[in-house]
Amino acid sequence: MKKSLLIGLLLYSISTLQAQELFFHSGKNLTTYDFKDNINTIVKLQKGIGYNYEVGFFSASKKNKPLFYSVSGVINEYNATGSTTGAAMEWKTNYLGVKGAFYYKVLNGKAHNLALKVGFGAETIVYGRQKINFEQMNLVAQKEFSGIFAGPGVGLLYGYKINNDFALQLAYNFDKHFSLKNQSQEKLNFNNHSLNVGFSVNIH
């Protein structure tokens, strides 16, 4: 149900978007988990590295106008390692979601452009494994990991135009995610830094 809702929201956003460019970005995540267990103890976790994939559309922007926006679908790996009560812990998770963002160009040259980004995203878990010593557990059904995670994000987008129809891009993003529904005693939020490379193609 949650996945269908997110996919429906993405399709509706795309249908109302006056699209100019299709884009694809991929890169690395550096994730910090903020986790409290069922006795309200903060579990010490180390930052984890994972992959991310994003595909979406940039809006058509009028000539010499610095503002534009995007809608996209994302897959994120949010990983972490740590320890609790003397046991080694490892989390590996994949989240599927949608994002929307507004951009403001601070550099708009013939070949180079740089834009500031502010946006909002919502995601839900599609895969998750917890490993404590040699025991493994499926995280998808765990209340602290399931449901919708949503929050704001900021970033930078650099583009280099190869020609009028194709551009290479480099993106940095920082996103903060909060659980919207979790009422259990165990609480989870996370912060994520990502560095991505990709491209955009003019579809007008």
Please state the pTM of the whole predicted model: 0.85
Domain segments of the chain: what residues?
Answer: 2-202
CB within 8 Å of 194: residues ≥ 6 apart:
27, 28, 29, 30, 52, 76, 171, 172, 173, 174, 175
The Cα–Cα gap between 111 and 103 comes to 18
CA distance linking residue 39 with residue 118, whole number of Å: 36
Q: Which two tokens stand for residue 201?
A: 């193609």
Distance separating alpha carbons of residues 10 and 87, to the nearest angstrom:
40
Q: Does the pLDDT of residue 90 top 90, yes or no?
A: no
Decide: 22 and 35 in contact? Cβ < 8 Å. Answer: no
Per the CB < 8 A criterion, the answer to whether 137 and 166 are in contact is: no
- The Cα–Cα gap between 25 and 200 comes to 9
Q: How many Cα atoms are found within 13 Å in the side-chain-facing hemisphere of 104?
A: 5
Section 122-151 average pLDDT: 89
Return d(Cα 128, Cα 82) in angstroms, integer: 16
For 2-202, the fitting CATH number among 3.10.20.880, 2.40.160.20, 3.30.565.10, 1.10.3470.10 is 2.40.160.20
| Per-residue model confidence as pLDDT tens digits over 171-200 | 999 999 988 876 666 678 889 999 999 999
pLDDT at 93 > cutoff 90 = yes
Q: How confident is the model at residue 6 (pLDDT cuts 50, 70, 90)?
A: very low
Give the CA-trace dihedral at 45, 46, 49, 54, to 10 degrees. Answer: 50
